[in-house]
Amino acid sequence: MCGVVGQPVRVGVVGRPGCGRRTVTGVLRGAGVAVADPSQPSDLDVYVFAETLKPEDRRALADCPRPVVAVLTKADLTGFGGAGPMTAAAERCRLLSDTVPVYPLAALAALAAVDDSVLDDDMLAALRVLTIEPADLGSTDRFAAGQHRLPASLRQRLLAHLDLFGISHAMRALRDGADRAGVVAALRRASALDGLLAGIDAAAAPVRYERLADSADDDAVAARMAAAIDVVQAAGMTVDGGAGAAAHLRRAIVWQRYSRGPVSRLHARCGADIARGSLRLWERAGGIPEPVELTP
């Protein structure tokens, strides 16, 4: 098993050249994710693609030996009109999530939200000017080449670091009275970064569980139970979080039955660890036998 208990889950950023791996790597590192260098082993992979999953992308995802999530980078270019490009991107990702989870990401906006060096004083001042004297945001060419008192070089810099999507959301935040922190928060929300991070965390749940499950220390029972709960909840199941002896005993019985299948080996182990941890909690709560009503 890669890694040891206590170390962060190492994420590899993979995908075909030209799809934005470098930017996504910067985003994830800026967000605090432990991204492995290309020469290092990873515990799970983030597969970067653009526009749609091509046959070679699907083959790479199917052949990945580790947990993997896919990210549609440049999601802000998915299409305009309707509810906006990110809504269209989210729907495209939903349709593509038939084998692995797929998440949208407006990568440039996300990078500006997590890298303090991107949105410097000059760029913020330029954005403030644009809220007072709007420029043509109809296309990148019109924004860059149109007549405006902002130097063309500064407009090119805005495009390079924010693109039209990020510029628009930053200007909207400034018009609403936001300061620098407010603009950064708006860019983060617009980029859908937090959805991707939640997806990575869910995909990492089995990795964290396997690390703990390999530990024979009795003191790890509670930690293994918590990790097992993360695994089954990431798969869409609900675990009764009730306290008290009756709730602990009920949960132990339900998940002991679950562990006996038919379920995967991983989920069988998770069920057994949830049951074991629940019984430990039941003992600490008094462990007095009492009638327990179970849902069939």
One pLDDT digit (tens) per residue for the chain, 296 residues: 344 456 789 999 999 999 999 999 999 999 999 999 988 899 999 999 999 999 999 999 999 999 999 999 999 998 766 678 999 999 999 999 999 999 999 999 999 999 999 999 999 999 999 999 999 998 999 999 999 999 999 999 999 999 999 999 999 999 999 999 999 999 999 999 999 999 999 999 888 887 776 555 556 788 889 999 999 999 999 999 998 888 999 999 999 999 998 999 999 999 999 999 999 888 888 876 555 555 54
Asked whether 220 and 275 are in contact (CB, 8 A), the reply is: no
CB neighbour list of residue 106: distance below 8 Å, 6 or more residues apart: 74, 75, 76, 86, 165, 166, 190, 191, 192
CATH superfamily, domain 11-106+192-200, is P-loop containing nucleotide triphosphate hydrolases (3.40.50.300)
pLDDT at 220: 74
Please tell me the predicted confidence (pLDDT) of residue 273. 92
The CA distance from 276 to 272, in Å, is 6
pLDDT at 43: 94
Domain ranges of the chain: 11-106+192-200, 119-180, 215-284
